[in-house]
Amino acid sequence: MSHDSAMPDGQASDTGSVLVVHDDQRNVRLMESILRSSGYQVLKAYNGEDALQVVENDSPDLLLLDVMMPKMSGFELCQRLKGRYQTRLLPIIMVTALNALEDKVQALEYGADDFLSKPINKVELLAKVRSVLRVKGLQDELERKKSEIEAANLELVRMQGFKESMMQMVVHDLKNPLASIMGNIQLIQMQNVEMMSPARLGELLQRTQESGRQLMRMILNILQIGKLEERKMPLRLEPVPLHKVVQENVDEMMGLSARDGILLENRVSPDLPAPRADRELVSRVVANLLNNAFKHTPSGGQVIVDAQRDGARITLTVSDTGEGIPEELQPRIFEKFVAGDSDAGRRMLFDSGLGLTFCRLAVDCHGGRIWLRSKPGEGTTVFISLLLEGPADAKPGSTSAGATAA
Protein backbone atom coordinates (compact mmCIF):
# COMPACT_ATOMS: atom_id res chain seq x y z
CA MET A 1 0.00 0.00 0.00
CA SER A 2 1.31 3.44 -0.86
CA HIS A 3 0.52 5.83 1.97
CA ASP A 4 2.15 7.46 4.94
CA SER A 5 1.60 10.15 7.57
CA ALA A 6 3.69 13.22 8.19
CA MET A 7 3.89 16.06 10.71
CA PRO A 8 6.43 18.82 11.39
CA ASP A 9 9.16 17.71 13.77
CA GLY A 10 8.26 18.37 17.39
CA GLN A 11 4.80 19.68 16.51
CA ALA A 12 1.67 17.98 17.78
CA SER A 13 -1.50 18.42 15.81
CA ASP A 14 -4.76 19.21 17.56
CA THR A 15 -6.66 20.30 14.45
CA GLY A 16 -7.41 16.89 12.97
CA SER A 17 -6.04 14.59 10.31
CA VAL A 18 -6.56 14.97 6.58
CA LEU A 19 -6.21 12.20 4.01
CA VAL A 20 -5.01 13.55 0.66
CA VAL A 21 -5.95 11.20 -2.22
CA HIS A 22 -4.42 12.08 -5.58
CA ASP A 23 -2.51 10.17 -8.25
CA ASP A 24 -0.20 13.13 -8.94
CA GLN A 25 2.57 13.27 -6.33
CA ARG A 26 3.27 16.95 -7.05
CA ASN A 27 -0.28 17.92 -6.09
CA VAL A 28 -0.08 15.69 -3.01
CA ARG A 29 3.15 17.39 -1.86
CA LEU A 30 1.64 20.84 -2.43
CA MET A 31 -1.49 20.15 -0.34
CA GLU A 32 0.59 18.35 2.26
CA SER A 33 2.89 21.35 2.66
CA ILE A 34 -0.03 23.76 3.07
CA LEU A 35 -1.82 21.55 5.59
CA ARG A 36 1.27 20.68 7.65
CA SER A 37 2.21 24.35 7.96
CA SER A 38 -1.18 24.91 9.64
CA GLY A 39 -0.74 22.04 12.09
CA TYR A 40 -2.82 19.34 10.41
CA GLN A 41 -1.72 15.74 10.39
CA VAL A 42 -1.50 14.56 6.80
CA LEU A 43 -2.12 11.05 5.49
CA LYS A 44 -1.50 10.21 1.84
CA ALA A 45 -2.82 7.74 -0.71
CA TYR A 46 -2.30 7.65 -4.46
CA ASN A 47 -5.31 5.59 -5.55
CA GLY A 48 -8.78 4.60 -4.39
CA GLU A 49 -7.88 1.15 -3.01
CA ASP A 50 -5.07 2.58 -0.87
CA ALA A 51 -7.42 5.31 0.34
CA LEU A 52 -9.97 2.76 1.53
CA GLN A 53 -7.25 0.98 3.50
CA VAL A 54 -6.05 4.22 5.12
CA VAL A 55 -9.61 5.12 6.10
CA GLU A 56 -10.03 1.66 7.65
CA ASN A 57 -6.77 1.76 9.60
CA ASP A 58 -6.31 5.43 10.56
CA SER A 59 -9.82 6.98 10.60
CA PRO A 60 -8.95 10.41 9.16
CA ASP A 61 -11.15 13.41 9.94
CA LEU A 62 -11.37 14.63 6.32
CA LEU A 63 -10.65 13.52 2.75
CA LEU A 64 -9.24 15.75 0.02
CA LEU A 65 -10.19 13.60 -2.94
CA ASP A 66 -9.18 14.07 -6.57
CA VAL A 67 -11.95 13.40 -9.04
CA MET A 68 -9.87 12.01 -11.90
CA MET A 69 -7.92 8.93 -10.82
CA PRO A 70 -7.19 5.63 -12.61
CA LYS A 71 -8.92 2.35 -11.65
CA MET A 72 -11.29 3.98 -9.15
CA SER A 73 -12.46 7.54 -9.74
CA GLY A 74 -13.02 10.02 -6.96
CA PHE A 75 -16.76 9.84 -7.62
CA GLU A 76 -16.76 6.06 -7.09
CA LEU A 77 -14.65 6.25 -3.94
CA CYS A 78 -16.91 8.98 -2.53
CA GLN A 79 -19.99 6.87 -3.27
CA ARG A 80 -18.50 3.82 -1.55
CA LEU A 81 -17.48 5.73 1.58
CA LYS A 82 -20.80 7.53 1.90
CA GLY A 83 -22.65 4.25 1.40
CA ARG A 84 -21.03 2.58 4.43
CA TYR A 85 -22.55 3.24 7.85
CA GLN A 86 -19.15 3.57 9.55
CA THR A 87 -17.92 6.25 7.12
CA ARG A 88 -21.18 7.91 6.08
CA LEU A 89 -20.33 11.08 8.05
CA LEU A 90 -16.70 11.29 6.89
CA PRO A 91 -16.44 14.71 5.16
CA ILE A 92 -15.07 14.75 1.61
CA ILE A 93 -13.84 17.74 -0.37
CA MET A 94 -13.57 16.94 -4.07
CA VAL A 95 -10.50 18.38 -5.79
CA THR A 96 -11.33 18.94 -9.46
CA ALA A 97 -10.24 20.74 -12.56
CA LEU A 98 -13.71 20.25 -13.97
CA ASN A 99 -15.91 23.31 -14.13
CA ALA A 100 -19.00 21.76 -15.65
CA LEU A 101 -22.07 22.22 -13.45
CA GLU A 102 -23.27 18.66 -14.11
CA ASP A 103 -20.00 17.24 -12.72
CA LYS A 104 -20.45 19.16 -9.47
CA VAL A 105 -24.08 18.11 -9.22
CA GLN A 106 -23.02 14.50 -9.71
CA ALA A 107 -20.44 14.81 -6.94
CA LEU A 108 -23.09 16.24 -4.59
CA GLU A 109 -25.37 13.34 -5.38
CA TYR A 110 -22.56 10.94 -4.42
CA GLY A 111 -22.25 12.76 -1.08
CA ALA A 112 -19.35 15.22 -1.46
CA ASP A 113 -19.39 18.02 1.11
CA ASP A 114 -17.52 20.70 -0.84
CA PHE A 115 -15.32 21.41 -3.89
CA LEU A 116 -11.84 22.73 -4.42
CA SER A 117 -10.75 23.83 -7.89
CA LYS A 118 -7.32 23.43 -9.40
CA PRO A 119 -4.90 25.13 -9.33
CA ILE A 120 -4.91 24.93 -5.51
CA ASN A 121 -5.25 28.22 -3.66
CA LYS A 122 -3.80 28.09 -0.14
CA VAL A 123 -6.31 30.46 1.45
CA GLU A 124 -9.27 28.71 -0.14
CA LEU A 125 -7.94 25.26 0.82
CA LEU A 126 -7.48 26.11 4.50
CA ALA A 127 -10.78 27.96 4.73
CA LYS A 128 -12.73 25.02 3.31
CA VAL A 129 -10.87 22.48 5.46
CA ARG A 130 -11.63 24.50 8.62
CA SER A 131 -15.27 24.92 7.64
CA VAL A 132 -15.84 21.25 6.87
CA LEU A 133 -14.02 20.07 10.01
CA ARG A 134 -16.12 22.47 12.11
CA VAL A 135 -19.27 20.86 10.75
CA LYS A 136 -17.83 17.41 11.36
CA GLY A 137 -17.10 18.35 14.98
CA LEU A 138 -20.74 19.28 15.45
CA GLN A 139 -21.87 16.04 13.79
CA ASP A 140 -19.55 14.03 16.03
CA GLU A 141 -20.96 15.78 19.08
CA LEU A 142 -24.51 15.03 17.96
CA GLU A 143 -23.60 11.38 17.41
CA ARG A 144 -22.03 11.21 20.86
CA LYS A 145 -25.08 12.80 22.49
CA LYS A 146 -27.34 10.45 20.56
CA SER A 147 -25.38 7.44 21.80
CA GLU A 148 -25.49 8.75 25.37
CA ILE A 149 -29.25 9.30 25.19
CA GLU A 150 -29.81 5.83 23.71
CA ALA A 151 -27.64 4.27 26.43
CA ALA A 152 -29.43 6.25 29.14
CA ASN A 153 -32.80 5.21 27.74
CA LEU A 154 -31.80 1.56 27.73
CA GLU A 155 -30.57 1.92 31.31
CA LEU A 156 -33.88 3.51 32.35
CA VAL A 157 -35.82 0.66 30.76
CA ARG A 158 -33.53 -1.87 32.46
CA MET A 159 -33.81 -0.12 35.83
CA GLN A 160 -37.59 0.06 35.57
CA GLY A 161 -37.80 -3.67 34.99
CA PHE A 162 -35.24 -4.22 37.73
CA LYS A 163 -37.22 -2.03 40.13
CA GLU A 164 -40.44 -3.90 39.44
CA SER A 165 -38.84 -7.32 39.90
CA MET A 166 -37.07 -6.20 43.09
CA MET A 167 -40.30 -4.78 44.49
CA GLN A 168 -41.96 -8.14 43.93
CA MET A 169 -39.02 -9.87 45.61
CA VAL A 170 -39.08 -7.56 48.65
CA VAL A 171 -42.83 -7.92 49.06
CA HIS A 172 -42.47 -11.70 48.79
CA ASP A 173 -39.76 -11.72 51.45
CA LEU A 174 -41.83 -9.59 53.82
CA LYS A 175 -44.84 -11.85 53.36
CA ASN A 176 -42.96 -14.94 54.59
CA PRO A 177 -42.38 -13.92 58.24
CA LEU A 178 -45.76 -12.14 58.32
CA ALA A 179 -47.52 -15.32 57.16
CA SER A 180 -45.66 -17.28 59.86
CA ILE A 181 -46.79 -14.82 62.55
CA MET A 182 -50.41 -14.94 61.40
CA GLY A 183 -50.33 -18.73 61.10
CA ASN A 184 -48.99 -19.21 64.63
CA ILE A 185 -51.56 -16.81 66.07
CA GLN A 186 -54.31 -18.64 64.21
CA LEU A 187 -53.14 -21.97 65.66
CA ILE A 188 -53.26 -20.53 69.16
CA GLN A 189 -56.74 -19.11 68.53
CA MET A 190 -58.06 -22.39 67.12
CA GLN A 191 -56.87 -24.42 70.08
CA ASN A 192 -57.91 -24.19 73.69
CA VAL A 193 -54.99 -22.44 75.34
CA GLU A 194 -55.84 -23.97 78.71
CA MET A 195 -55.65 -27.45 77.18
CA MET A 196 -52.47 -26.70 75.24
CA SER A 197 -49.25 -27.96 76.80
CA PRO A 198 -46.82 -25.28 77.98
CA ALA A 199 -44.19 -26.73 75.66
CA ARG A 200 -46.46 -26.43 72.60
CA LEU A 201 -47.57 -22.91 73.52
CA GLY A 202 -43.97 -21.90 74.14
CA GLU A 203 -42.92 -23.29 70.76
CA LEU A 204 -45.63 -21.35 68.91
CA LEU A 205 -44.79 -18.13 70.76
CA GLN A 206 -41.09 -18.62 70.11
CA ARG A 207 -41.68 -19.09 66.38
CA THR A 208 -43.88 -16.02 66.36
CA GLN A 209 -41.18 -14.00 68.09
CA GLU A 210 -38.51 -15.24 65.67
CA SER A 211 -40.67 -14.28 62.68
CA GLY A 212 -41.35 -10.89 64.24
CA ARG A 213 -37.63 -10.27 64.67
CA GLN A 214 -36.97 -11.30 61.08
CA LEU A 215 -39.72 -9.00 59.81
CA MET A 216 -38.41 -6.06 61.86
CA ARG A 217 -34.84 -6.70 60.68
CA MET A 218 -35.91 -6.69 57.02
CA ILE A 219 -37.97 -3.50 57.44
CA LEU A 220 -35.07 -1.73 59.15
CA ASN A 221 -32.72 -2.85 56.38
CA ILE A 222 -35.03 -1.38 53.75
CA LEU A 223 -35.51 1.89 55.66
CA GLN A 224 -31.88 2.47 56.53
CA ILE A 225 -30.01 1.33 53.41
CA GLY A 226 -30.86 4.60 51.66
CA LYS A 227 -29.53 6.68 54.54
CA LEU A 228 -26.37 4.62 54.74
CA GLU A 229 -25.79 4.95 50.98
CA GLU A 230 -26.13 8.73 51.20
CA ARG A 231 -24.06 8.94 54.42
CA LYS A 232 -26.97 10.61 56.18
CA MET A 233 -27.18 8.25 59.15
CA PRO A 234 -25.44 9.67 62.25
CA LEU A 235 -23.15 7.26 64.08
CA ARG A 236 -23.51 7.05 67.85
CA LEU A 237 -19.96 6.07 68.66
CA GLU A 238 -19.07 4.34 71.91
CA PRO A 239 -16.87 1.44 73.03
CA VAL A 240 -18.71 -1.70 71.87
CA PRO A 241 -18.09 -4.87 73.94
CA LEU A 242 -18.18 -7.39 71.10
CA HIS A 243 -18.52 -10.45 73.34
CA LYS A 244 -21.65 -9.00 74.95
CA VAL A 245 -23.17 -7.80 71.67
CA VAL A 246 -22.55 -11.17 70.02
CA GLN A 247 -23.96 -13.03 73.03
CA GLU A 248 -27.18 -11.00 72.94
CA ASN A 249 -27.71 -12.06 69.34
CA VAL A 250 -26.68 -15.66 70.05
CA ASP A 251 -29.20 -15.83 72.91
CA GLU A 252 -31.97 -14.72 70.55
CA MET A 253 -31.02 -17.50 68.13
CA MET A 254 -30.79 -20.28 70.71
CA GLY A 255 -34.38 -21.41 70.23
CA LEU A 256 -33.81 -21.71 66.49
CA SER A 257 -30.50 -23.43 67.17
CA ALA A 258 -32.14 -26.11 69.32
CA ARG A 259 -35.07 -26.60 66.94
CA ASP A 260 -32.93 -26.97 63.81
CA GLY A 261 -30.12 -28.91 65.45
CA ILE A 262 -27.43 -26.34 64.61
CA LEU A 263 -24.59 -25.74 67.03
CA LEU A 264 -24.22 -22.01 67.73
CA GLU A 265 -21.13 -20.83 69.52
CA ASN A 266 -19.82 -17.44 70.68
CA ARG A 267 -16.02 -17.65 70.86
CA VAL A 268 -15.42 -13.91 71.15
CA SER A 269 -13.23 -13.31 74.21
CA PRO A 270 -14.69 -11.01 76.90
CA ASP A 271 -11.17 -9.55 77.28
CA LEU A 272 -11.01 -8.35 73.67
CA PRO A 273 -10.60 -4.56 73.38
CA ALA A 274 -13.86 -2.77 72.55
CA PRO A 275 -13.82 -0.98 69.19
CA ARG A 276 -15.34 2.49 69.03
CA ALA A 277 -18.47 2.07 66.93
CA ASP A 278 -22.25 2.42 66.78
CA ARG A 279 -23.46 -0.43 68.97
CA GLU A 280 -26.90 -0.72 67.38
CA LEU A 281 -25.48 -0.95 63.84
CA VAL A 282 -22.82 -3.48 64.86
CA SER A 283 -25.47 -5.58 66.62
CA ARG A 284 -27.69 -5.54 63.53
CA VAL A 285 -24.77 -6.55 61.33
CA VAL A 286 -24.16 -9.56 63.57
CA ALA A 287 -27.89 -10.38 63.57
CA ASN A 288 -28.09 -10.25 59.77
CA LEU A 289 -25.04 -12.48 59.38
CA LEU A 290 -26.29 -15.01 61.92
CA ASN A 291 -29.72 -15.08 60.30
CA ASN A 292 -28.17 -15.64 56.87
CA ALA A 293 -25.86 -18.37 58.21
CA PHE A 294 -28.75 -20.23 59.86
CA LYS A 295 -30.88 -20.16 56.73
CA HIS A 296 -28.23 -22.01 54.78
CA THR A 297 -26.76 -24.39 57.34
CA PRO A 298 -28.35 -27.85 57.52
CA SER A 299 -29.25 -29.70 60.71
CA GLY A 300 -26.12 -31.03 62.38
CA GLY A 301 -24.03 -28.10 61.15
CA GLN A 302 -22.52 -25.29 63.15
CA VAL A 303 -22.30 -21.50 63.20
CA ILE A 304 -19.38 -19.94 65.07
CA VAL A 305 -18.69 -16.29 65.88
CA ASP A 306 -15.13 -15.32 66.76
CA ALA A 307 -12.94 -12.22 66.85
CA GLN A 308 -9.25 -11.39 66.99
CA ARG A 309 -7.21 -8.25 67.39
CA ASP A 310 -5.08 -7.33 64.39
CA GLY A 311 -2.98 -4.31 65.29
CA ALA A 312 -5.24 -1.26 65.27
CA ARG A 313 -8.21 -3.33 64.13
CA ILE A 314 -10.58 -5.96 65.42
CA THR A 315 -11.63 -8.66 62.95
CA LEU A 316 -14.94 -10.38 63.68
CA THR A 317 -15.80 -13.60 61.83
CA VAL A 318 -19.09 -15.44 61.36
CA SER A 319 -18.49 -18.95 60.01
CA ASP A 320 -20.95 -21.65 59.00
CA THR A 321 -20.79 -25.16 57.60
CA GLY A 322 -23.65 -24.54 55.19
CA GLU A 323 -24.05 -24.89 51.46
CA GLY A 324 -21.69 -22.07 50.56
CA ILE A 325 -22.04 -19.37 47.94
CA PRO A 326 -21.71 -20.01 44.18
CA GLU A 327 -18.36 -18.71 42.94
CA GLU A 328 -19.92 -16.48 40.28
CA LEU A 329 -21.93 -14.59 42.93
CA GLN A 330 -19.13 -14.01 45.42
CA PRO A 331 -17.65 -10.84 43.85
CA ARG A 332 -21.11 -9.19 43.93
CA ILE A 333 -22.53 -10.67 47.10
CA PHE A 334 -22.60 -7.37 49.03
CA GLU A 335 -24.34 -5.47 46.22
CA LYS A 336 -27.98 -4.54 46.50
CA PHE A 337 -30.52 -7.13 45.27
CA VAL A 338 -27.95 -9.79 44.40
CA ALA A 339 -29.60 -13.18 44.89
CA GLY A 340 -29.22 -16.74 43.70
CA ASP A 341 -30.78 -20.17 43.96
CA SER A 342 -29.77 -22.64 46.61
CA ASP A 343 -29.18 -26.25 45.61
CA ALA A 344 -31.21 -27.39 48.59
CA GLY A 345 -34.85 -27.04 47.61
CA ARG A 346 -34.10 -24.19 45.17
CA ARG A 347 -34.46 -21.61 47.93
CA MET A 348 -33.32 -18.06 47.43
CA LEU A 349 -29.87 -17.65 48.92
CA PHE A 350 -30.15 -14.12 50.22
CA ASP A 351 -33.82 -13.15 50.29
CA SER A 352 -34.13 -9.78 48.57
CA GLY A 353 -30.38 -9.31 48.80
CA LEU A 354 -30.64 -6.39 51.25
CA GLY A 355 -29.24 -7.98 54.43
CA LEU A 356 -25.66 -8.28 53.22
CA THR A 357 -25.88 -4.87 51.52
CA PHE A 358 -26.86 -3.37 54.87
CA CYS A 359 -23.88 -5.09 56.49
CA ARG A 360 -21.49 -3.66 53.90
CA LEU A 361 -22.84 -0.12 54.19
CA ALA A 362 -22.85 -0.21 57.99
CA VAL A 363 -19.24 -1.41 58.07
CA ASP A 364 -18.25 1.14 55.42
CA CYS A 365 -19.61 3.97 57.54
CA HIS A 366 -17.23 2.89 60.31
CA GLY A 367 -14.22 3.04 57.99
CA GLY A 368 -14.09 -0.75 58.10
CA ARG A 369 -13.92 -3.61 55.64
CA ILE A 370 -16.13 -6.61 55.00
CA TRP A 371 -15.36 -9.63 52.82
CA LEU A 372 -15.95 -13.35 52.70
CA ARG A 373 -14.47 -16.70 51.82
CA SER A 374 -16.76 -19.43 50.65
CA LYS A 375 -16.68 -22.76 48.87
CA PRO A 376 -19.89 -24.42 47.68
CA GLY A 377 -20.67 -27.39 49.88
CA GLU A 378 -18.14 -26.42 52.54
CA GLY A 379 -19.58 -23.31 54.15
CA THR A 380 -18.89 -19.58 54.33
CA THR A 381 -16.90 -17.24 56.57
CA VAL A 382 -17.69 -13.53 56.61
CA PHE A 383 -14.96 -11.20 57.92
CA ILE A 384 -15.61 -7.76 59.43
CA SER A 385 -12.65 -5.52 60.24
CA LEU A 386 -13.30 -2.50 62.48
CA LEU A 387 -10.89 0.20 63.63
CA LEU A 388 -10.37 0.14 67.40
CA GLU A 389 -10.33 3.94 67.47
CA GLY A 390 -13.41 4.17 65.28
CA PRO A 391 -13.79 6.08 62.00
CA ALA A 392 -11.47 9.00 61.38
CA ASP A 393 -14.50 11.28 60.99
CA ALA A 394 -17.34 10.69 63.41
CA LYS A 395 -19.80 12.60 61.21
CA PRO A 396 -22.02 11.00 58.57
CA GLY A 397 -19.84 10.50 55.53
CA SER A 398 -16.87 9.27 57.54
CA THR A 399 -13.95 7.70 55.70
CA SER A 400 -14.88 4.30 54.30
CA ALA A 401 -12.54 1.59 53.11
CA GLY A 402 -15.30 -0.19 51.23
CA ALA A 403 -15.96 -3.86 50.72
CA THR A 404 -12.96 -5.90 49.69
CA ALA A 405 -12.98 -9.47 48.50
CA ALA A 406 -10.21 -11.63 49.79
pLDDT grade for 179, boundaries at 50, 70 and 90: confident
Q: How far is residue 314's CA from residue 308's CA, in Å, rounded to a whole number?
A: 6
Between 272 and 174, the higher pLDDT residue: 272
Of the listed ranges 196-205, 241-250, 265-274, 285-294, the least confidently predicted one is: 196-205
Q: Above pLDDT 90, what percent of the chain? A: 31
The mean per-residue pLDDT over the stretch 339-355 comes to 47
| Domain match, 115 and 242 both | no
Tally of CA atoms within 13 A in the half-sphere of 276 that contains its CB: 10
Identify the domain boundary among 120, 136, 155. Answer: 120
- Min mean pLDDT across 54-63, 129-138, 342-351 is at 342-351
pLDDT at position 209 is 81
Amino acid 74: pLDDT: 87
| Residue 368 included in any domain | yes
CA distance 54 to 358: 54
| DSSP secondary structure, 171-232, as one string | HHHHHHHHHHHHHHHHHHHHS-TTTS-HHHHHHHHHHHHHHHHHHHHHHHHHHHHHHHHTT-
> In the prediction, which pLDDT does 20 show?
93
Whether residue 154 has pLDDT greater than 50: yes
Q: What is the mean pLDDT of residues 383-401?
A: 67
User: What per-residue confidence (pLDDT) applies to 291?
Assistant: 85
Name which of 22-36, 281-295, 353-367 the model is least confident about.
353-367
* Domain assignment of residue 18, yes or no: yes
Q: Is residue 131 part of a domain?
A: no
**Is the pLDDT higher at 322 or at 207?**
322
Q: Which residues contact 224 (CB under 8 A, 6 or more apart)?
A: 233, 358
**Per-residue CA distances from 7 to 33, 89, 130 (Å):** 10, 25, 18
Most confident of 19-28, 160-169, 213-222, 223-232: 19-28
Among residues 134, 105, 115, 103, which one has the least CA distance to residue 65? 115
User: 257 lies in a domain?
Assistant: yes
Q: What per-residue confidence (pLDDT) applies to 227? A: 61
CATH number for the domain spanning 350: value is: 3.30.565.10
More confident residue, 261 or 189: 261
Listed residues 98, 120, 142: the one ending a domain: 120
CATH at residue 11: 3.40.50.2300
| Mean pLDDT score across all residues of the chain | 80
pLDDT in tens, 301-324: 999 999 999 999 999 999 999 988
SS3 category, 150? helix
| 43-53: pLDDT as tens digits | 999 998 889 99
Number of domains the chain contains? 2
Rounded alpha-carbon distances, angstroms, from residue 393 to 225, 253, 304: 20, 34, 32
Residue 204 lies in a domain: no
- Asked if residue 240 and residue 98 are part of one domain, the reply reads no
- Domain boundary among the residues 78, 93, 120 is at 120
Position 43 scores a pLDDT of: 93
Q: Which of 251, 239, 253, 247 lies closest to 267, judged by CA?
A: 247
> 0.85 cut: is pTM over it?
no
Q: Which tens digit of pLDDT belongs to each residue from 261-292?
A: 999 999 999 999 999 999 988 998 998 899 88
Place 338 in a pLDDT band, splitting at 50, 70 and 90: low
Distance between alpha carbon 251 and the CA centroid of its chain, in Å? 39
Domain range for 96:
5-120
Q: Given this model, what pLDDT does residue 159 score? A: 67
| Domain-located, residue 161 | no
Q: Is the pLDDT of residue 162 over 60?
A: no
Helix-helix angle 25-37:122-190, to 10 degrees: 70
pLDDT in the model for residue 349: 38
Average pLDDT over residues 35-40: 91
137 within some domain: no
Q: Which residue has the higher pLDDT, 240 or 7?
A: 240
Q: Is residue 150 part of a domain?
A: no
Residue 113 pLDDT: 86
Q: Are 314 and 308 in contact (CB under 8 A)?
A: yes
